[in-house]
Structure 1
Amino acid sequence: MSTLPPMHPTPPRTGHPAARQQAGISPVASAANPSQGVPSMTSHRVVRWTVGGSLVGFLTSLGVHGILLLIAAYWIVGGTSGAPGESGSGGDIQMAIMSDTELSALEAAAGMDSVSPASAIEEGDAFTTPEVLEGPSGVPDVTGPTGLGGAAEGLGGAGGDIGEGDGMGDGIGGGSGNGTATFFGVEASGTRFAYVVDVSGSMQGPKLSALKMEIIESIDSLIEHMQFFVSPFSSDGMLLGNKDKWTPSTDVGKKWALQQVKDLQCYGGTNPLPSFQKVFDLKPRPDAIYFMTDGMFEPEVGGLVAKMNKRGKKVPIHCIAFDIQEKAVEDAMKAIAEESGGRYVAVPLSGSKK
């Protein structure tokens, strides 16, 4: 009798549920992934759902925000922009369009007359053509009262400047013709003129009256773009109206000078040097200086004035010896005029304006 080999028990098939339970294998784990089990399968699905949901949510949010931006842009740009002169209100803008008949009815109700610009001009309501009066020679008549007083004598002088007039209202605005000034009959060129004038005690009476008239007429003859400066002197130098700067020769400036000159008084001795110092301190320097005196001054004045004149642009000094009897005074004034390139004249009291 032969001996049979020992029989080993056959392991149960895992495909049967009972067998799987006996083997200790979960049905879910066996079906899904026998090697990894349930936890690995679930985590993969969660990751896929999370990523997919986030992408869908992002795209949805992007689309919604884009639509909102378009709506906002429409309201801001399209919805609130009105016609010129109107402010948008965020809603639809209604354009008021009226027919000619409706417009005429509205004007009639408001009491308005529809007048065209052409008809207004024809009727003379808007513009008036100036009338040009011509004199005998066909030249426009520009004569008439101007300036501070007196009558103009028309145009003249070089460069088309305003011509000389007669009296305190000379010319249109007191013009002198060609950028010149005149004082005691002495003519000077330029735009800035300084007057150094004697008001010492010896000038009392007719001399002072003549001086005032000459200053007033000289300043009034200046045209508007010119400037003037007056420094009366006696024992010391003074400022007309306490003004140490140039005065424009406007109507206002001329009226101011007229009042200040009328108030001049005579006193003291004869010392022109401080007044010359004030004149040469002006910025800018004068184009010409008028120096008038009736008496003797210190001999060194001429040399000191020449030194001051050499410190900058040389200024011509026109010297007027007013009713002077001493030859020494005449010689001193001639020297000042010659050294500076100015003129010297002797004016007797009988030949001056009183």
Structure 2
Amino acid sequence: MGGGGTTFFKQEVVAQRVAYVIDASRSMSKQRQELMREELTKSIKQLRAPMLYQIIFFSAPAWVAGSDVEVDNEAGRGIVTDKSGSYEWEGRKRSYSGWEPKGEEQPVPWIEFSSKTRRQSEKHIENQTMSLGTDWGPPLRMALEMEPPPQIIFFMTDGAGGSTKELLDDLRKLARRKKTIINTVALMEPSAVDGLIYLAKETKGQFTIVDERGRAEVQELK
């Protein structure tokens, strides 16, 4: 596959292009947030030039790390703002899943790894706030539609929001078409396990479950 290497919750990979798709929902308790920030920071530090990477956070909407995010679940509306502009999301009122971009979508550029970009990413990870909602579809599609597509996606969540059979099948097909491996992590949430195992197995990825004590175990996929 080429490139450098890194690890994430004990998953070891070698790749040139790595995308992180990370849950930033309010169900992420203080313990879960600390684990996420620690492990994501550690993984970024292991990257080496000339690797390319990107971090996409999600709750109901999804956004590139470093963006400003406002989510109003009662109104079914979200606004994501970065240096390139503002991007609107909409969803069913009082619903935490089924959200989609409205109009122009936020660009998702690759980041060239360097000591400078690493420090910037560490700051974004440290300062990322949580918002209501958990929807798997939008952030994974954002990552899979990057150009060129990721060779590896690390997908970490503590919820199963929006993970319908139809969505999982669509993501499987898109990942296979893009030749992208999806490595998945269930962060202390048993209800997410089946869907995460499916995505990992169907894209030849790895699956990790993290227990209530924060212990990570990569499981064999049969």
CA contact (8 A) 2:49 2:113 kept: yes
CA distance in 2 between partners of 1:308 and 1:323 (Å): 27
Q: Which residue is equivalent to 1:322?
A: 187
| One of 137, 146, 158 as aligned partner of 1:294 | 158
Q: Which residue is equivalent to 1:259?
A: 123
Q: Which residue is equivalent to 2:79?
A: none
CA distance in 2 between partners of 1:310 and 1:184 (Å): 23
Q: Which residue is equivalent to 1:209?
A: 34
CA contact (8 A) 2:24 2:131 kept: yes
Alignment partner of 1:345: what SS? strand
CA contact (8 A) 1:208 1:266 kept: no
CA distance in 2 between partners of 1:351 and 1:322 (Å): 8
Q: How many residues align?
A: 174
Of structures 1 and 2, the larger Rg is shown by: 1
**Cα separation, partners in 2 of 1:202 and 1:253, compared to 1, 3 Å:** same
**Cα separation, partners in 2 of 1:246 and 1:352, compared to 1, 3 Å:** farther
What code does the residue aligned with 1:340 have? T
Residue 244 (str. 1) matches residue 69 (str. 2) = no
Q: Which residue is equivalent to 2:174?
A: 308
How does the TM-score come out when normalised to structure 1?
0.47
Percent of aligned pairs sharing the same letter: 26
How does the TM-score come out when normalised to structure 2?
0.73
Stretches of structure 2 that go unaligned for 5 or more consecutive residues are 68-106, 217-222
Stretches of structure 1 that go unaligned for 5 or more consecutive residues are 1-158, 160-177
What code does the residue aligned with 1:263 have? N
| C-alpha distance after superposition, 1:82-106 (max 9, x if no partner) | xxxxxxxxxxxxxxxxxxxxxxxxx
Question: Offset of 1:325 from its aligned partner?
Answer: 2.8
CA distance in 1 between partners of 2:172 and 2:134 (Å): 18
CA distance in 2 between partners of 1:325 and 1:344 (Å): 13
What code does the residue aligned with 1:339 have? E
CA RMSD of aligned residues (A): 1.9
Please, which moves more after superposition, 225-234 or 178-187? 178-187
Question: Offset of 1:352 from its aligned partner?
Answer: 4.7
CA contact (8 A) 2:168 2:199 kept: yes
Alignment partner of 1:202: what SS? coil
| C-alpha distance after superposition, 1:183-207 (max 9, x if no partner) | 1111112111101111111103111
CA distance in 2 between partners of 1:179 and 1:239 (Å): 23
Q: How does 1:181-196 map to 2 (within 5 A)?
A: 181-196=6-21
Query: Which of the pair is proportionally richer in strand?
Result: 2
CA distance in 2 between partners of 1:180 and 1:317 (Å): 15
Query: Which of the pair is proportionally richer in helix?
Result: 1
**Cα separation, partners in 2 of 1:283 and 1:246, compared to 1, 3 Å:** same
CA contact (8 A) 2:176 2:203 kept: no
Residue 342 (str. 1) matches residue 167 (str. 2) = no
Q: Displaced runs of 4+ in structure 1, greater than 6 A?
A: none
